[in-house]
A and B are shown apart, each in its own frame.
Chain A
Amino acid sequence: MFNNFPLWPDRASSTAGNVDALFIFLIIVSGMMTLLVFTAVIYFAARFRHRKGVLAEQIEGSIPLELTWTIIPLGVFMVIFLWGAVVYFNSRTPPRDSTEVYVVAKQWMWKLEHAEGQREINELHVPVGRDVKLIMTSQDVIHSFFIPAFRMKQDVLPGRYTVAWFHATKPGVYHLFCAEYCGTQHSGMIGDIVVMEPSQYEAWMSGSPSGPLSATGEKIFAELGCVTCHRTDTQGRGPNLQGMFGKPVQLQDGRTITADENYVRESILDPGAKVVNGFKPVMPTFQGIVSEEQLNALVAYVKSLAPAGQTGGQTANPATIAPGLNPAPVTTHGSSKGSPKGTKVQ
């Protein structure tokens, strides 16, 4: 009956249940408060309506009452805050060993590239029951990567990476929206998230001939001549990148930072900004020389140099992934690689 008139969105990720639980709690709390106020207002309005000869009874106020309705709501609010914070923190912290997907947003399309090398546009195939981490950036304005069924949203900014993650629990095809207004075709910047059973996903993956993204990165790394300085010994003019990713790095100015995706990105585009201690600021900028996609490949390559287990990247073994938490039957066209747009599983 509700095919055309849904009242609740699909719940297809591990986060979705948590968000829904808090949402339902909020509906109950605010429903009770609304009921309280409405009942009181309607009752008082009817009971104390004007009658000839009956004067209003003046009441100045009551400190105990004021304190009651200050402190009780405050207590309730703090519960909501804590609960919301926990849900948020979990939804913002990608687990280790996630499968990684690089997202490049542009007016008005989503370009997605799996760490394994598959490229997609406005469509993302993911397996059920696996943590997927999105490393996202924009080529132009601010966009926002929004999958309602996963209760997941993250703005995608130009000039830096933002990160989001999800763990799909139910095979199917779900909406992908751009949620941050981005210009003329904002409402056309939509796509499909295709969640598949692991076996089907493997089949889909193997259909693609290209190598992993880090291999592309390695090629670019060689073509741009990065290897001449970033050597695998300690003699290079630049730091040795082996095993560097994810580790703390001591900078020239004394600060220590973690070598994360944004740091690698910044070091390629603005090498002078955060020079590693003991090295000279001799690296030229690659701003305007590498595209966002090439940048992603380079980042993926640098990450692949890290010891296993540090990043996930290619280490996640599909065979070890448990089936979805919610082993619902595979729905209609969750498996087809190029599922036609506009046909959705609800």
Chain B
Amino acid sequence: MSMATATVQPVEREDYLNKHYGVGSWLLTTDHKRIALLYLISITFFFFVGGFFALLMRLELLTPAGDLVQADTYNKLFSMHGMVMVFFFLIPSIPAVLGNFLVPMMIGAKDLAFPKINLLSWYLYIIGGVMMTHCILTGGVDTGWTFYTPFSTAFSNSKVIEAGLAIFINGFSSILTGLNFVVTIHRMRAPGMTWSRLPLFIWAHYATSIIQILGTPVVAITLVLVVAERALHLGIFDPKLGGDPLLFQHLFWFYSHPAVYIMILPSMGVVTEVIACFSRKRIFGYHFVAMSSVAIAVFGFLVWAHHMFVAGISVYAALVFSLLSYSVAVPSAVKVFNWTATLYKGSIHYDAPMLYAFGFLGLFTIGGLTGLFLAALGVDVHVTDTYFVIAHFHYIMVGGALMGYLGGLHFWWPKISGRLYPEGWARLAALIVFIGFNLTFFPQFVLGYLGMPRRYYDYSHMPEFQVLNVLSTAGSTILGIGYLLPMIYFLWSMRYGKPAPDNPWNAAGLEWQTQSPPTTFNFVEEPVVTWEAYNYDEIDAGHKQEAPVVG
């Protein structure tokens, strides 16, 4: 796919990267693309922090005895792995990096609606991140990322308050990003960019933003209550003082279940773009894919108590929530079938982003289907709080969300950096990640059904679990290499990579009609959209789109 290479210009053009220089020009920028890069750097840091904790945990579990770290250390490792990965990597990952970079460009806008609020989001993220880092460095927190009361409020001897406040502040970063996206998508679309011409990446981010706006405040106030309870012993969540610990779980999961969709929906958006581009086709069932994103966002709010089937809720509530849980499975299935159907009679290329998309399809299918096991009441009783759950949500949140994130990063890297990444290495990395991931997490399904509870650091009384744990640990090292590779070659490409043409994939979408990297306001003239999304037939037939190409 190198039809567009002829448009590379030898002279250095002004773009968003070289227009201004100096630290100040970055820290005070309101350019959505620069803010996206700020996020990229900060979330990458937290990704490797969280990944380091994960590797230590896997090493500890290599042998049944608790020999590598102490019990308390291990408890802090999994707690901080969860908090860092969920709140400081996965939730901001695609929206704050790729979404920030692409949402305005894809709809033909010069910037997000509120550029200063966008910058504020990043600063809130950084304040939360610094607090979290400080918390980690000065002793950490051992409540699990779920902060279950009364353990977190009355028993834990770790820095619960600081961690809670870090996540509280970080939550507002997420809310403001979602707010910015919704307003931008509603108000800033270029002329002719109707709702049914929007790229499905935009639809996915729109749905994600709904969750961020309506869900995040609930977990924020819940964490305020936890902090207040811990500091002042109010009794709201403490059964010793008349409170109900299950209320905490209700409020926590009201956000934290939909939060899974904050992670996976944008990834679905990425995969949709990639599959359309590399099979040179319009997406099969555009409207169904778009609506299923919104359906997932809305239905996602109806199912939270399926995390609590054995927690002591009423059996009737359990029935209701189990039934509702399946409502969210249907639109997910619809998406998978539509992606598959898009491949049919396509002209499929195997570039690295597409390999990640294939990986996403496989892992998300397995992750989604094992969700059915957990929604089925009778089976959930046995597998909840075991490694089965761990495996399931890693298939969704790492197999799904992270695969999509990496795929998207490869796909848009030429646009972001103006350089091409090394294709061969990228394909190798995609393969390594896929193999390493399955080796790490598939054995955990078996472990879970055998009954190994999560958050155990010592299983010396259950040596029969060792073989599967060894497999998992072996996989995790492969996975670690798979994640390290892209970071290395992306950094390499920034200096040594070939200059990227404006549209290296010959892809549809307004973002590809800007120069690579784009100028500060993306377009010289406001584009007027006269074509449908994913008009690959017209592109491949040689019709030029009439959007202004900058340069």
Q: Do chains A and B touch in the complex (CB under 8 A)?
A: yes
Residues of A participating in the B interface, judged by any CB pair closer than 8 Å: 3-9, 18-19, 22-23, 26, 29-30, 33-34, 37-38, 40-41, 44-45, 48-51, 54-62, 65-66, 69-70, 73-74, 77-78, 80-81, 83-89, 91-92, 107, 140-142, 144, 146, 148-149, 151-155, 157-160, 162, 175, 177-188, 190, 341-342, 344, 346
Is B459 within 8 A of A187, CB to CB?
yes
Given contacts A175-B462, A187-B458, contact A85 B365 (CB under 8 A): no
Q: Is B345 an interface residue (CB 8 A)?
A: yes
Is A56 within 8 A of B450, CB to CB?
no
Is A41 within 8 A of B343, CB to CB?
yes
Q: B160 → chain A, closest Cβ, in Å?
A: 13
Count residues of B near A (Cβ-Cβ below 8 Å): 95
Q: B325 → chain A, closest Cβ, in Å?
A: 8
- Sample of 25 A–B contacts (CB below 8 Å): A3-B464, A19-B382, A23-B379, A26-B373, A37-B337, A45-B358, A48-B345, A56-B346, A60-B284, A66-B288, A77-B330, A80-B326, A81-B375, A81-B376, A81-B377, A88-B315, A107-B155, A142-B311, A148-B451, A149-B451, A153-B381, A179-B386, A183-B142, A187-B453, A187-B457
Q: A291 → chain B, closest Cβ, in Å?
A: 14
Question: Which residues from chain B contact A56 at a C-beta distance below 8 Å?
Answer: 279-281, 345-347, 536-537, 540
Is A37 within 8 A of B365, CB to CB?
yes
Residues of B participating in the A interface, judged by any CB pair closer than 8 Å: 66, 71-72, 75, 142, 144, 148, 150-151, 154-156, 239-240, 245-246, 279-282, 284-288, 309-312, 315, 318-319, 322-323, 326, 329-330, 333-334, 336-338, 340-341, 343-350, 358, 361-362, 365-366, 369-370, 372-373, 375-382, 384-386, 446, 449-451, 453-464, 466-468, 536-537, 540-541
Question: Which residues from chain A contact B156 at a C-beta distance below 8 Å?
Answer: 183
Question: Which residues from chain B contact A179 at a C-beta distance below 8 Å?
Answer: 384-386, 453-454
Closest to A144 in B: B385
Q: Is the interface of A mostly helix, strand, loop or mixed?
A: mixed
The 10 closest A-B pairs by CB, nearest first: A148-B451, A87-B378, A159-B239, A84-B376, A88-B377, A30-B369, A61-B285, A187-B456, A44-B343, A77-B326
A69 and B334 CA atoms in complex are apart in Å by 6
Is A184 within 8 A of B75, CB to CB?
yes
A159 and B237 CA atoms in complex are apart in Å by 11
Q: B234 → chain A, closest Cβ, in Å?
A: 15
Is B453 within 8 A of A34, CB to CB?
no
Is A33 within 8 A of B239, CB to CB?
no
Is B66 within 8 A of A187, CB to CB?
yes
Interface centre among B75, B151, B454, B541 (most CB of A within 10 A): B151
Question: Which residues from chain B contact A58 at a C-beta distance below 8 Å?
Answer: 281-282, 536-537
Is B326 within 8 A of A81, CB to CB?
yes
Q: A59 → chain B, closest Cβ, in Å?
A: 6
Is B151 within 8 A of A85, CB to CB?
no
A163 and B243 CA atoms in complex are apart in Å by 20
Closest to B315 in A: A92
Is B155 within 8 A of A140, CB to CB?
yes
Closest to A342 in B: B461
A260 and B468 CA atoms in complex are apart in Å by 44
A298 and B541 CA atoms in complex are apart in Å by 84
Question: Which residues from chain B contact A78 at a C-beta distance below 8 Å?
Answer: 326
Question: Which residues from chain B contact A55 at a C-beta distance below 8 Å?
Answer: 280, 347, 537, 540-541
Is A84 within 8 A of B239, CB to CB?
no
Given contacts A41-B343, A141-B155, A155-B310, contact A48 B450 (CB under 8 A): no
A85 and B348 CA atoms in complex are apart in Å by 44
Is A59 within 8 A of B284, CB to CB?
yes
Is B334 within 8 A of A44, CB to CB?
no
Closest to A158 in B: B239
Kindly list 7 other residue pairs between chains A and B, CB separation below 8 angstroms, not including A30-B373, A342-B460: A7-B450, A19-B379, A26-B376, A77-B330, A84-B377, A157-B312, A344-B462
Closest to B455 in A: A181
Question: Which residues from chain B contact A22 at a C-beta distance below 8 Å?
Answer: 376, 378-379
Question: Which residues from chain A contact B284 at a C-beta distance below 8 Å?
Answer: 59-62
Closest to B74 in A: A187
Within 8 Å by CB of A49, from B322, B329, B348, B453, lies: B348
Given contacts A23-B379, A26-B379, A157-B239, contact A48 B245 (CB under 8 A): no
A176 and B225 CA atoms in complex are apart in Å by 34
Given contacts A56-B536, A180-B148, A187-B71, contact A37 B336 (CB under 8 A): yes
Is B245 within 8 A of A142, CB to CB?
yes
A81 and B371 CA atoms in complex are apart in Å by 12
Question: Which residues from chain B contact A45 at a C-beta distance below 8 Å?
Answer: 343, 348, 350, 358
Question: Which residues from chain A contact B385 at a C-beta distance below 8 Å?
Answer: 144, 146, 153, 179-180
Question: Which residues from chain A contact B541 at a C-beta distance below 8 Å?
Answer: 55
A77 and B343 CA atoms in complex are apart in Å by 26
Count: A-B pairs, CB below 8 Å: 288
Is A66 within 8 A of B285, CB to CB?
yes
Is B348 within 8 A of A44, CB to CB?
yes
Closest to B151 in A: A141
Given contacts A30-B372, A34-B365, contact A155 B381 (CB under 8 A): no
Is A80 within 8 A of B333, CB to CB?
no
Is A77 within 8 A of B372, CB to CB?
yes
Question: Which residues from chain B contact A158 at a C-beta distance below 8 Å?
Answer: 150, 239-240, 245
Closest to B344 in A: A44
Question: Which residues from chain A contact B358 at a C-beta distance below 8 Å?
Answer: 41, 45
Is A80 within 8 A of B376, CB to CB?
yes
Is A153 within 8 A of B382, CB to CB?
yes
A49 and B373 CA atoms in complex are apart in Å by 35
Is A178 within 8 A of B453, CB to CB?
yes
Is A88 within 8 A of B318, CB to CB?
yes
Question: Which residues from chain B contact A341 at a C-beta distance below 8 Å?
Answer: 461
Q: B371 → chain A, closest Cβ, in Å?
A: 10
A184 and B457 CA atoms in complex are apart in Å by 10
A85 and B75 CA atoms in complex are apart in Å by 34
Given contacts A9-B451, A41-B361, contact A51 B347 (CB under 8 A): yes
Given contacts A3-B464, A48-B348, A187-B456, contact A88 B288 (CB under 8 A): no
A140 and B381 CA atoms in complex are apart in Å by 23
Is A54 within 8 A of B347, CB to CB?
yes
Is A144 within 8 A of B310, CB to CB?
yes
Is A87 within 8 A of B377, CB to CB?
yes
Is B319 within 8 A of A85, CB to CB?
yes
A141 and B381 CA atoms in complex are apart in Å by 20
Q: A288 → chain B, closest Cβ, in Å?
A: 10
Closest to A156 in B: B312
Q: B254 → chain A, closest Cβ, in Å?
A: 18
A61 and B540 CA atoms in complex are apart in Å by 20
Is B75 within 8 A of A186, CB to CB?
yes
Closest to B386 in A: A179
Given contacts A44-B346, A151-B382, A157-B312, contact A83 B376 (CB under 8 A): yes
Question: Which residues from chain B contact A162 at a C-beta distance below 8 Å?
Answer: 312
Is A30 within 8 A of B245, CB to CB?
no
A85 and B279 CA atoms in complex are apart in Å by 42
Closest to B152 in A: A141
Closest to B282 in A: A58
Is B240 within 8 A of A159, CB to CB?
yes
Within 8 Å by CB of A19, from B348, B381, B536, lies: B381
A58 and B537 CA atoms in complex are apart in Å by 7
A7 and B312 CA atoms in complex are apart in Å by 30
A9 and B446 CA atoms in complex are apart in Å by 9
Q: A94 → chain B, closest Cβ, in Å?
A: 12
Within 8 Å by CB of B310, from A5, A33, A51, A153, lies: A153
Question: Which residues from chain A contact B453 at a C-beta distance below 8 Å?
Answer: 146, 177-179, 187
Question: Which residues from chain A contact B150 at a C-beta distance below 8 Å?
Answer: 140-142, 158
A37 and B336 CA atoms in complex are apart in Å by 8
A187 and B246 CA atoms in complex are apart in Å by 23
